[in-house]
Structure 1
Amino acid sequence: MERRNFLRGAVIGTSAAVFGGTLMRGAAYAAPAQNGTSPYGGLLAANANGIMLPAGFTSRVIARSSQTVPGTSYTWHNAPDGGACFADGTGWIYVSNSEVTPGGAGSISFNSSGAITGARRILSNTRNNCAGGATPWGTWLSCEEVSLGFVYETDPKGVNAAVRRDAMGRFKHEAAAADPVRKVIYLTEDESNGCFYRFIPSTWGNLSSGTLQVLKAGTGTSGSFTWANVPDRDGSPTVTRDQVSGAKRFNGGEGCHYASDTVWFTTKGDNRVWQLNLLNSTYELAYDDSLVTGGTAPLTGVDNVTGSSSGDLFVAEDGGNMEICIITPDDIVAPFLRITGQSSSEICGPAFSPDGKRLYFSSQRGTSGSSSGGVTYEVTGPFRTTA
């Protein structure tokens, strides 16, 4: 069991998804994560790339906006944002969005030793492609963070043409996370009064048709939830978030991650990480910077999120002090890395290689503070595989 499964099973007699910790008074919910010591230890002085890392970890720059990716003829896109990794034979591919207009997405291929073997554009002429998500069938969902934006399904290898997936709704899309158990795709909405959605494809593996639903719940930070169909997924004349009475509001939906019957997503407007426990249809806070005690909250400006095989969450900051912070299964939050000298940027697109030994991410605007100054990094080291 991961995270809160054991506690919730003991308290309410249900096997539930995870995030261990102590119980809140009078409720079967665990307290949000608190300050603690990282399992990787403290951060060392900044290295030659300006990154502070724990002992045993190293970094390298794999691409810079407006410059060709080393060993290729592809010019890396501006404002690199959401990303994911895909297995590719004995190697892998890292995909990255471009949060400008015209935007799109690009990808970089690696062989089994981590050497770059190619790079290419996989999506063009779209708008503010911010986050997105990987599918179990090996495609990348690139999301437009604009009013009435679309989701585009792309091929990380750039062989097949990208396809606009109208059935997934038109709204200010941010991130997507696939749930192969329930055969749905979860979607966040980057609005101050946004909603949380799921898309149920008519056929799993084919996103051309299906049903868009919105999460319904009370106004509290924990409780039960249900789903309701969105009548008009085109969002016109009434936007999707205003079509269903009782739809729960979230303040600026950002990153989204699914694992082990649980989906986590972040909201930048209130610096929270939310957790949906899908086996018992309850929700709660996994993290809230205003509820951190015993010192300054280490994680602010919450944005993209990913997870490791150990059950750790890695949450990137948009602002804050340019950190990727870890939230462990025992509810400890602590910095994992910090980028120095780039206070006008944000960290985007954290994703692990398929073997879990390398973490990729970007500084969207780098040292220049401009979209043309983005830098994409790789961090290698002894990432833990068990909590």
Structure 2
Amino acid sequence: MRRRSFLRAAVVGGGVAAFSGGLWTGAAVSVPNRLAEGPYGPLLPADGNGLELPEGFTSRIIARSGEQVEGTSYTWHDAPDGGACFADGDGWIYVSNSEIEPGGGVGAVRFDAGGNIADAYRILDDTRRNCAGGKTPWDTWLSCEEVGYGYVFETDPWGRNEAVRRDAMGKFNHEAAACDPVRKVIYLTEDEPDGCFYRFRPNNWGDLGAGGVLEVLAAGSETSGKATWVEVPEPLPSDGDTPTREQVSEAKRFDGGEGCHYANDRCWFTTKGDDRVWQFNAADDTFELAYDGGGDLSGVDNITSSDFGDLYVAEDGGNMEICIITPDDVVAPVVRVNDQDESELCGPAFNPAGDRFYFSSQRGTSGSSSDGITYEITGPFRH
């Protein structure tokens, strides 16, 4: 079997991107600087919204912080951050965190089958710095507080059910969450310079209110190897008590955990402090360094993937790009945002059909949290 075919076989079924071939031989490899032109071709000059896109792609602004979403009474929140899409009949819903304190919370935009905005509304209020999170297989959104001793809140994208704090998932500087339906666990990243990579094992899969066990990945200081899981003794420390990341001495440290995405037995997560992308192989509890910075992709943050097998990584800083990493190791920008150097890109997500892509510039052109902009890109995405 040719190498490309092997990589494709490993990723297409679960919609996750493969990285450098060294991962399959156990060698940690730094992905080179844009090995080839991306699958969509070069970026064209900026459009009227200030976005550089490949030929055949168009953009629109769907929301601005402090302004009512068109056709609705909902005022879009400040500092839009992590997000995800949920199928809604023939349409879909895009949820978006608000990374401010106080206030925080989550907003949502509902689209009809034609992609027109049908409604916008609030699904979580009065929380703190809701940064990233994760979508569950039972169609809820886990919104994570990026503060010391922060919590995870489970929310309803339709806004019909009240959001609930899930204490058993731990009290720490949460960033992102990714659900593994095979092992029935949820992986969690921690945004600290000496942060950890966690696994939550619910007592009842699909019911996070039934409690569970929080564990931390333990390993040496290497960039690849075998991992074990150790239970966190006190997942709910009081403010000022020993943080969860310091309770297990053998826990492996990750420099600023950010985005987290699971598919097909693998969980990909980013660390901003050292500009790395990691792969955790859930089938055999091994981990690898998949990308080691130094190329076109820098300021790694939120991540998602397409059903084709491409991974999309949003930059916090860098060149203000969203880059694609393809199954044959091409790294290239698919979006570049102009004149917003004081911002960061976040919340990348595809609609269910895979032909519309959403993301936000958290602080827009002014660099202020009150100037966030949420975009939609339409085009011939591979899916």
TM-score, length-normalised on structure 2? 0.93
> Of 360, 363, 368, which residue of structure 2 is paired with 1:365?
363
Name the aligned partner's letter for residue 335 of structure 1: P
Instruction: Write the distance in 1 (CA, Å) between the matches of 2:3 and 2:150.
Output: 34
Partner of 1:90: 90
**TM-superposed deviation, 1:6:** 4.0
Superposed CA RMSD? 2.1
**TM-superposed deviation, 1:239:** 0.7
Note closer, same or farther for the CA distance 1:204–1:5 as it changes in structure 2 (3 Å cut). Answer: farther
Partner of 1:384: 382
1:15-59 Cα shifts (integer Å, max 9, x gaps) = xx973544389x623623222221111111000000000111100
Q: Unaligned 5+ residue runs, structure 2?
A: 10-15
SS of equivalent to 1:95: strand
Contact 1:213 1:228 in 2 (8 A): yes
Name the aligned partner's letter for residue 243 of structure 1: Q
Partner of 1:173: 174
**TM-superposed deviation, 1:80:** 0.2
Q: Which moved more, 1:32-41 or 1:367-376?
A: 32-41
Partner of 1:23: 22
Name the aligned partner's letter for residue 224 of structure 1: K
Note closer, same or farther for the CA distance 1:329–1:215 as it changes in structure 2 (3 Å cut). Answer: same
Tell me the percent identity: 65
Contact 1:4 1:18 in 2 (8 A): no
Map residues 125-274 of structure 1 onto 2, 5 A cutoff.
125-208=126-209, 209-236=211-238, 237-274=241-278
Instruction: Write the distance in 1 (CA, Å) between the matches of 2:346 and 2:104.
Output: 15
Instruction: Write the distance in 1 (CA, Å) between the matches of 2:231 and 2:88.
Output: 37
Instruction: Write the distance in 1 (CA, Å) between the matches of 2:364 and 2:20.
Output: 37
**TM-superposed deviation, 1:381:** 0.5
> Of 344, 347, 356, which residue of structure 1 is paired with 2:345?
347
Note closer, same or farther for the CA distance 1:313–1:348 as it changes in structure 2 (3 Å cut). Answer: same
Name the aligned partner's letter for residue 47 of structure 2: N
Contact 2:225 2:287 in 1 (8 A): yes
TM-score, length-normalised on structure 1? 0.92
Instruction: Write the distance in 2 (CA, Å) between the matches of 1:87 and 1:217.
Output: 38
Partner of 1:306: 304
Contact 2:261 2:304 in 1 (8 A): yes
Name the aligned partner's letter for residue 300 of structure 2: V
Larger RCO (CA within 8 A; separation ≥ 6): 2
Name the aligned partner's letter for residue 203 of structure 1: N
Q: Unaligned 5+ residue runs, structure 1?
A: 10-16, 291-296
2:50 aligned with 1:50: yes
**TM-superposed deviation, 1:5:** 9.6
Instruction: Write the distance in 2 (CA, Å) between the matches of 1:298 and 1:87.
Output: 33
Instruction: Write the distance in 2 (CA, Å) between the matches of 1:143 and 1:85.
Output: 17
**TM-superposed deviation, 1:2:** 12
Contact 2:83 2:97 in 1 (8 A): yes
**TM-superposed deviation, 1:4:** 9.1
**TM-superposed deviation, 1:193:** 0.2
SS of equivalent to 2:245: helix
Contact 2:19 2:290 in 1 (8 A): no
Q: Which moved more, 1:322-331 or 1:77-86?
A: 322-331
Instruction: Write the distance in 2 (CA, Å) between the matches of 1:302 and 1:4.
Output: 25
Name the aligned partner's letter for residue 237 of structure 2: G
Map residues 283-362 of structure 1 onto 2, 5 A cutoff.
283-290=287-294, 297-362=295-360
Note closer, same or farther for the CA distance 1:384–1:141 as it changes in structure 2 (3 Å cut). Answer: same
SS of equivalent to 1:23: helix
Contact 1:3 1:18 in 2 (8 A): no
SS of equivalent to 1:107: strand
Instruction: Write the distance in 2 (CA, Å) between the matches of 1:77 and 1:250.
Output: 30
Partner of 1:294: none
Partner of 2:113: 112
Name the aligned partner's letter for residue 190 of structure 1: D
